A and B are shown apart, each in its own frame.
Chain A
Amino acid sequence: MPSWFERLFKGWSDTNIRPPGARSEKHLLATCIKCGRCMMVCPYQSIKIADWGSKYYGTPYVDPDAMPCYLCMKCPEVCPTGSLSTVSKENVQMGRAHVVHDTCLSWQDDLCNLCYKRCPLQDKAIDLNDDLQPVIKNCVGCGVCTYVCPTQPKSIVITPQRNLS
């Protein structure tokens, strides 16, 4: 979750993820012409534009805690430079979720599973094990799970693609 300081003054948080179809951070920064079309076409208003004060000024991002990406895949279609390339939603690489077992209700004694129920790639990205606990499989990092997670702080968080080794 970005801190209020990051939101207010930095215009950028390290937890931000790039819109679906971005190949790599380097490629996006090299090719994005900051036209904002992806932001305008997004039906959920998930895509935002990095604010002044950050070196990423003008580039698009998704803050999964504010509004995640629902993988409708409309933004790559309008991208004029190929910064966002058209891929199927299973092949998107925005990041990867991981479950914090210490606070996750299903991994503790209760039962929640909202992350699994609302995942746009249910069964492929998140699955339930035999004890009905969420496990991450081929996650694309859209962030819906983080958004719907009812615990505070979130028990499922996205690591952006650029930070994945």
Chain B
Amino acid sequence: MAENKDNMQLNRRDFLKLSATGLSLTLVGFNPVLGTFQEAYAKNAPQADQWFMSVCPYCGTGCGVNVGVSNDTVVAVKGMPDHPVNKGELCILGKNLVGILNTPDRLLLPQKKVGHQFKPIAWEEATDTVATQLKETIDKNGADSFAMYVSASEYIEEYYVYNKFVKGCLGTNNLESSARLCWASGVVGLVKAFGSDSPPCCFDDIEVADLFFVAGYNPSSSKPIFFKRLMKAKKANKTKMIVIDPRRTDTAKKADIHLQIKPGTDVILFNAITRELINKGLIDEKEAKSITQDFDKLKEHVQSFTPKFAEEKTGISERQLSEVVQLIGQSKGALFMWGQGLNQSRIGTRKVTSLLNIPFITGNIGKAGAGPLAVTGQSTAMSLREVGALPNLLPGFRKVNDSQARQDIAKIWDVDPQKMSPKPGRTIPDILNAIEAGEIKALWIIHSNPAATFPDTSWVRKTLNKLDFLVVQDCYHPTETSQFAHILLPAAQWAEKDGSMTNSERGMNLIEQAVQPPGKAKTDIDIVMAVARKMGFEKQFSFQKTEDIFEEFKRCTTGRPNDINGLTYARMGKEKGLQWPVPTAEHKGTKRRFMDQKFPGKLNLAMNQHADPLEMPDKEFPLWLLTGLVNEQYHSRTRTSKIPSLNRAVSEPFVEIHSENAKALDVMAGDLLKVTSRRGQLTARAVITDNILKDAVFIPYHFSFLAGKDKSVNDLTIRSFDESAKQPEYKAAAVKIEKA
């Protein structure tokens, strides 16, 4: 027995020892790993063999980034400390840029649709097919039966090649870009007001201004680094901030005055502000008359917009209005910023021009720290306007219907000016309508995703199916759009190609190629030029490197507002963010425009009336649908859906409703809600808040049918477009909600 007991004791001791060793091993084995990780993170200095300069591909702020490469792979991205825009800071999207590159769904080979399946083919066959199909379509149905739809995140050289190919060589102006969905109304508004497209301000004005007037804009979510700069200036200079938004957004929370306006009534509010400024004698009428046209007409026009009328229509009290008017009247320099809340509307251009009346009559123009500051939603929306990658433009802000402009450009392009069409091309709503009517037979989509981003997507999908020939050139597959393609062309993306771009303050930046594209993917320039050469345009596309294209584009800008003849790749590499015009090599860039108070013409004041959206809430569909973005995702998520740390936060749509509506429906946070409009339905979890108007719901727009059934908010939105800019009205549709 005793022996036995001894054995038992030994065994138990052994067992305890073993467990202790095991435990300590696991602790030792685990903690040092955690420790080194922590240290590496705290230092915040990712290691890489080589660093390349680039610009973040997301929003129009244009933050400079350094791309770190080891063994031909991008291993790190960090903010560029000496870049004038962000000074080394990055937002959460920029921080996670590494994750967008080598994802499992990168498109690596050209593919052709056979039956219902895609089969890999060789590049030679792919470009041959595209060239012959385009030639056939154009020979049979005319050049206008072809259209190209490109994204607003590409580089100057790429836009230039597309423009030259479509407008110069093929002879149609159907070159459209997704900037239409994003800033078309804003740009048309600027053109109407100034007489030319030329953002006058720069980011350095933020520190000079003493008032920020922010309308329909939530930079806290859409442009975090820009917002941080606003907040820094606000804290340092005690800058006042007025925010106009139907939601109490994170931007509105930081404002001195938040005007929670009824959706869509901005024109009335701006006219009422204008009236009060004039009637209370808070402006210098003499000065206003000297720089603007039709001041007396505007004075007469706004008289009917009394504060009482405004209160009734916009829901903003007379007291708040007079506070706002006082702030604007007292301000020595006010910056006027706006966003999609104004742009994405049936009367977007009217809203923007009504807003611009205010800086014009108060003299907030042509001086430091004052004027309209428009930051676009996509990185290179400014570049595409300079290069003219829109249906009505040619390089250097020239118009296609100007015969002199066509001749000038034809000379540089080495094409026949007679072949260039004087008729402005189709906008994307027109293109889709024309596809439905059978007038457009072939479409080439580059890095864009209309099947997810266009309103009423179920109609868009039907329409895309009607095309005889659809080429989709993208870096990912599947995307919502790529499934409709006949030919898929694998393209390089950010960090895999070089070029130059302009940010929203006209700052020019050089982008270096950090790595080779994966698989057989090629740069967009190489792909389009290969097709163009096969169609017989070898002479026009004899560029050897990207810089040659930039040099040719420079010739188009001579004597134009965006004259950049003083820039070369070498200079852009050294001096970052130089703002055009930069006409000579000695020129130091133009921070602010119109400082001499010399405008292209007299400033145009707009006499606008309010108009209701196409679809108003009614008995059956009683709520407004507002769509918008969240910090963690970008547009249709083709990039951000690949990053797990971002998808943790928001990986599916949600419905933001007012707590009183929630109570009436007996809905608790997290319950599934069914949102229905006349066009479709969406099921998503409820988020209950008091930050939204009672008669509105908010749903983020990032998700489409790849995210799951009934997850696409654009199934609900309406095909209603701005009267002059043709930008879709994403922020006004009538919906009803019920418990799912």
Contact = CB atoms under 8 A, between A and B. Distances in A.
Contacts of B668: 72-74
A154 B42 CA distance: 12
A148 B669 contact: no
Interface string B9-48: 0000000000000000010001000100110011010000
Interface string B317-333: 00000000000000000
Looking at chain A's contact residues, the main secondary structure is: loop
A44 B652 CA distance: 13
Interface residues of B, number: 40
B253 A43 contact: no
Interface stretch (B85-93, B480-488, B557-565): B85-93
A3 B33 CA distance: 12
B225 interface: yes
Interface residues of A, number: 35
A72 B41 contact: no
B208 interface: no
Given A130-B231, A131-B231, A148-B649, A110 B37 contact: no
B490 to A, nearest CB: 29
Nearest to B30: A3
Nearest to B648: A148
Interface string A116-147: 11101001000010111000000000000001
A126 B221 CA distance: 17
A113 B253 CA distance: 14
A112 B79 contact: no
A4 B124 CA distance: 51
Nearest to B81: A109
Given A112-B95, A114-B92, A123 B669 contact: no
Interface string B224-252: 11011001101100000000000000100
Contacts, number: 94
A87 interface: no
A150 B670 contact: no
A153 B41 contact: yes
A118 B649 contact: yes
Interface stretch (A49-57, A100-108, A156-164): A100-108
Interface in A35-56: 43-44
Most chain B CB atoms below 10 A, which of A4, A43, A44: A43
A46 to B, nearest CB: 10
Given A5-B26, A103-B41, A147-B648, A110 B235 contact: no
A109 B649 contact: no
Interface string A67-106: 0001111100000000000000000000000000011010
B496 interface: no
B649 A103 contact: no
Most chain A CB atoms below 10 A, which of B34, B221, B645: B645
A9 to B, nearest CB: 9
A33 interface: no
A102 B42 contact: yes
Contacts of A117: 221, 250, 630-631, 649
Nearest to A9: B26
B41 A105 contact: no
Contacts of B253: 123
A31 interface: no
Contact of A105 (B37, B42, B95, B231): B95
Interface string B653-672: 00000000000000011110
B252 to A, nearest CB: 12
A152 interface: yes
B96 interface: yes
B89 A109 contact: yes
A113 B224 contact: yes
Contacts of B79: 109-110
A42 B44 CA distance: 38
Given A5-B26, A109-B79, A152 B37 contact: yes
The 10 closest A-B pairs by CB, nearest first: A148-B649, A150-B645, A72-B670, A112-B92, A130-B235, A111-B224, A72-B669, A43-B670, A5-B26, A72-B668
Interface of A: 3-5, 43-44, 70-74, 102-103, 105, 108-114, 116-118, 120, 123, 128, 130-132, 147-148, 150-153
19 contacts: A5-B26, A70-B670, A72-B668, A72-B670, A103-B41, A109-B88, A110-B89, A110-B91, A110-B92, A113-B224, A114-B92, A117-B649, A118-B650, A132-B231, A148-B649, A150-B92, A150-B96, A150-B645, A152-B645
Given A109-B79, A113-B92, A148-B649, 10 more contacts: A3-B26, A43-B670, A72-B668, A105-B92, A109-B88, A110-B90, A111-B224, A111-B225, A132-B228, A151-B41
